[in-house]
A and B are shown apart, each in its own frame.
Chain A
Amino acid sequence: SQTIHQWPATLVQPVGSPLSLECTVEGTSNPNLYWYRQAAGRGLQLLFYSVGIGQISSEVPQNLSASRPQDRQFILSSKKLLLSDSGFYLCAWRRWTGTGNTIYFGEGSWLTVV
């Protein structure tokens, strides 16, 4: 079956520390992958998307970066976290629903920068 996983589920990091969130998908190959951020009480902001290994598109300039070292692995990183990086981070992948290619989300990672 096709599934998506991301970890860790929650983390508390001090300002200035590095970050690594990992996302993997199973049961498919060459998926389009996405990283979104959701601040408390806000909508979903697209951060990065990737159509293949090593191919990353960035939506907004920020303190974050993304990498896709393997076909089904997508990593979100930061060298030095800011307080404003706190939020709910969601990995997603694109799948055919029968009507269109929509995106399905992972369980999310709660990041609190202190």
Chain B
Amino acid sequence: GESVGLHLPTLSVQEGDNSIINCAYSNSASDYFIWYKQESGKGPQFIIDIRSNMDKRQGQRVTVLLNKTVKHLSLQIAATQPGDSAVYFCAENTGNQFYFGTGTSLTVIP
């Protein structure tokens, strides 16, 4: 299977600060990447995606950056809110298969 990892298993940020969650992937052939948010007891929720021919994509308060040279993906959350507390997963797609990292647990401190 593919190897998708995260640099840090936990991250704590102050409410209102920006959060950055990082992810490394190993398969150079992967051409599509996704970030998910998983709240306790629920299924992962799609946040934002990016194709390998892009370096950056922005959504509402979130930005995904892709560095193909070092096979690194990051999710930036602006003005982090208590509702952002969750586990965040990156995923890479090759063909019909999606492989997930182990997740980073984000805690927002009020």
Binding site for B on A (CB under 8 A): 32, 34, 36, 42-44, 46, 49, 51, 57, 59, 90, 92, 94, 97, 99-108, 110
In the docked arrangement, what's the CA distance between A90 and B93, Å? Answer: 18
Binding site for A on B (CB under 8 A): 1, 32, 34, 41-46, 49-51, 57, 89, 91, 93, 96-103
Compute the total of residue contacts between A and B using a CB distance below 8 Å: 60
A102 touches B42 (CB 8 A): no
Q: State whether A108 and B42 are in contact (beta carbons under 8 Å apart), knowing that A43-B103, A99-B51, A100-B49 are contacts in the complex.
A: yes
Closest residue on chain B to residue A108 by CB atoms: B43
Closest residue on chain A to residue B2 by CB atoms: A46
Set of chain B residues within 8 Å of A51, measured between Cβ atoms: 96
A97 touches B101 (CB 8 A): no
